Amino acid sequence: MSLQNLDAFFAPQHIALIGASPKAESVGRAFVDNLLNDPGKRTISFVNPHHTQILNQPCVAALSDLPSVPDLAIVATPPDTVPGLVAEAKLAGVRGVIVVSSCQGGDRGALRRAMRAAARGSQMRILGPDSQGVFAAGGTLNASLASTPPQSGALGLIAQSGAIMNAVLDWGNAVKVGFSKAVSLGDASDVDLDDLLDHLAYDVRTRAILVCVETVGNPRRFFSAARAAAKVKPVVILKSGRHGLTADRISTHSGVLATEDSVYDAVIRRAGLLRVNDLDELFDAAGALARLKRVSEAGKRLAIVTNDRGIGILAADRLLDLGGTLAALSDEAMETIRPHAPLQWSGEMPLDLETTLPLDAQHAVIEALIDDPMNDGLLIAYSPSQVSDGKEAATRLVELLERKAKDVSRPKPVFVSWMEREADTLGAFDEAHVARFRTPGDAVRGFMDVSRYAQAQEELSATPPALPEDLASADVERARVLADTALAEGRTWLNTDEIADILASYGFSYAAPVRARCAETAYKAAQDLLAQHRSVALKIDSPDIPHKSDVGGVVLDLTHSLQVREGFDVLMEKVKGRAPNARLDGVIVQPMADTAAGVELYLGLADDPVFGPVIVFGRGGVAVEAVNDKALGMPPLDMRLARQLISETRVSKVMGGFRGRPAVDEDAVAQALVRLSQLTADVPQIRQLDLNPLLATPTGLLVLDARIEVAPSAVGDATFDTNPRFTIRPYPRNWERRLELKSGDVVFVRPVRPEDEPSFELFFSKTTQEDLRLRFFSYVRDFSHKFIARLTQIDYARDMAFGAFDASGELIGVVRLHADPERESGEYAILLRSDLKGHGLGWALMRLVIEYGQAERFQRIEGQVLAENTTMLAMCRALGFSVHRDPDEPELMLAKLDLSQFGDQSLPAAE
């Protein structure tokens, strides 16, 4: 992630077009026309050794012939010339290059690699190859192949495909929806999706971001940038290629269930993005987000008013299909509406008004619905009629909606489906920026897009329950050793004993399996087990057979040990015949559980080639793949995310009990998901895992069968001793510390977690207003959930916050480090409980955050301090910070620490 030199693409003062051409219908000519029509006050230069003039504009042979260095160079030449031209741009000092050229067929990556090699050693940024350029409304820049100049507006657009970018921009022109910036990403040799998401997230002109992609480059950087952007503005993503093949991942049920698109879907949901499946859905979502002033608090209750009952019922059906609800009416709204409603109206939505009802009466109904707090949005659906003047109705409605839109105290999203095709009539809505849609169904989808975005915002800041306390006692090293031992022996599948050991360490109850290499051992094991259980199962024990049932390797309900002795040889012979090349290590004797007493579930771990570990949950049993009742989640999981994952499956309804059957222990199921997530983080050697079935009962869980595949893996870097293949950087448990203060007190310091919100509320209540002012630079009196969530919801890939806790577990101090996108610099902030100053806590926390910055290879740590905060400034100086006054804000001091000065030396000791 880097924002460095991206301004060269969106606000260049000098552009050079390399490959400019006077030839009609050529790429070079298309760029010439768009650049010459650009009203921005910037220098445009043409470069082509075959021309001295193009359209009466001078043209030079090479970049070096220009009198000044361009900020941006656009390369539209044959692919084999591109690396040399990129090298020339680097030598000239160009800050940004757009490469339009593309490599058709063959090794498409060869051009990207050659371009990167040519630019190496410089800070020049490259967009492309195969990019069709950029558009920026702020500087009226159209350095693209768009057929018509886009309108200026508030939508940002990132598209890998130039054709899709142009299609979206053309749609915007047709319906008067404007764009702040648009980028054709192309093959992304340098500037990538995460860079542009960061850029548009910070861009004040952009209210919402549209993303059209086929793949992502760096998954961790993409997720981090996407989640950061989604927290500040809506991000809509159209991900194509939803039906990719997954035939190479069939060794576990999880590998089959975790299809490529379902994994993308899990990542997109977790990041808080709004996913659409085609261009029509993208246009509907974009139209709603571009035209509505406020979309962050919408619910699912929609009021529908129409002039035709059939249209209203279709809209209501679509709403319920998409998970919305028909709004009820408040008593006040009912009192206003009833005199104007048809006599037969039941008082429920949709509301069908007579076509002959005067416009003033219609508007009274519409205004009452807009003002009614019992709905979250209003759909007005109009069908042409011989007895009404559609143009006048539209004009009057626009006037009403413009007047109501000025009431900023009670914003209400209003959606209009005006099915009249008169251009002037529809244009009135577009000119007024009313959220207009072609059909009522499209309008309903637009409403639900807004609702889904609001729900995603709530989920991004939700506070989860505390994690199971016994997770901290899991024997991580033992689990890693077991995995490494198997790998050292040339095995990729753990045996039953190793699986049982690992599962027990992470709190799973496993139906005690016994391995037996001969019939006599199996017989004795069955005798012991049948003394406590009604029956046992006999299963083949082989590292080469993923699914035992497929080869007849399972015999159930054996009630006598003699059956086990006799069944041993029968089972071995049967499996030898069906899997002659498989290694057979004997059998597994396992007690049978009463599956009728519970629900068979599935818990699994898949290894996605792009996003790494993925948790899979759903209905279990032999037919797990055929039933395909699943939900996917990206680890790490907390209890809230685990419960959400459960709720996305059909089996969750069965878990709640039905027809006299009691509900299973859903908390235990959620905890099992969290435990599996933690196991995945702690033991990166585990690549795939099946717990199937996992029997859930009213009293707990029991694993009936399990498989674990392992592969060599690094444990992580020095900073995060966790799975390096995680897309989402997990909680860094290795940064937990016990620190002794100069007062002799010992405090427990750990990274802040989302469930710490109640601790922060208590912490702030014990901190004086003056200390809060010194920390936040203003008096803070309302510590809302939204405010505290920003402090506790940490993306460990970008930021860090450490909380210090006393012996009673109470939060007594916090220090945080917010990194810039390049992760070169981190801005610190610190706050201590007011009654604990002078104990050395502030010094200890500052030393810890500096240690963290060093481990993360930051170049510097800096912060702003009020000039009157002399205690903080003195500590900064003692720690080696340089301190000087902010030239732009004299009341502030800037404290900066160059981390390179320490090298391997220790920080100053506490004073």
Q: pLDDT tens, 404-449?
A: 877 756 678 899 998 877 767 777 888 888 888 989 999 999 999 9
3-state secondary structure 693-723: EEEEECCEEEECCEEEEECCCCCCCCCCCCC
Residue linked to tokens 């022109």: 173
Structure confidence at residue 783 (pLDDT): 86
**Confidence label for 381 from pLDDT (cuts 50, 70 and 90):** very high
Give the model confidence (pLDDT) of 127-152 as tens digits.
Answer: 989 999 999 987 689 999 988 888 89
Element housing 194 (H / E):
helix 193-202
* pLDDT above 70 (res 109): yes
Range scoring the smallest mean pLDDT among 311-315, 398-402, 718-722, 794-798: 718-722
| SS3 category, 407 | coil
DSSP 518: S
For residue 253, the Cα-to-chain-centroid distance in whole angstroms is 25
Average pLDDT over residues 111-130: 92
Range scoring the smallest mean pLDDT among 188-197, 465-474, 829-838, 871-880: 465-474
Q: Residues with Cβ < 8 Å from 101, sequence gap 6 or more?
A: 75, 76, 77, 78, 79, 81, 82, 111, 128, 129, 130
Average pLDDT of every residue of the chain: 88
Structure confidence at residue 222 (pLDDT): 94
Give the model confidence (pLDDT) of 747-786 as tens digits.
Answer: 999 999 999 999 999 999 999 999 888 888 888 878 888 8
Cα distance between the two ends of the chain: 38
Residue linked to tokens 């699986």: 499
Average pLDDT over residues 381-407: 81
Give the model confidence (pLDDT) of 205-248 as tens digits.
Answer: 999 999 999 888 889 999 999 999 999 999 999 998 777 644 44
**Hey, what's the torsion of the CAs at 198, 199, 200, 204, to 10 degrees?**
120
Give the model confidence (pLDDT) of 526-567 as tens digits.
Answer: 999 998 889 999 999 988 887 788 899 999 999 999 999 999
Give the model confidence (pLDDT) of 249-291 as tens digits.
Answer: 455 666 676 678 889 999 999 999 999 999 999 999 998 888 8
Average pLDDT over residues 596-619: 92
* pLDDT above 50 (res 717): no
**What does the buried/exposed string (b/e) look like for 885-909 if buried means 16 or more CB atoms within 10 Å of the residue's CB?**
eeeeeeebbbbebebeeeeeeebee
Give the model confidence (pLDDT) of 54-106 as tens digits.
Answer: 999 999 999 999 999 999 999 999 999 999 999 999 999 999 999 999 876 66
Structure confidence at residue 85 (pLDDT): 96
Structure confidence at residue 120 (pLDDT): 92
Rounded to 5°, the CA angle 601-249-685 comes to: 80
- How many CA atoms are closer than 13 Å to the CA of 333, on its beta-carbon side? 21
d(CA 856, CA 847): 14
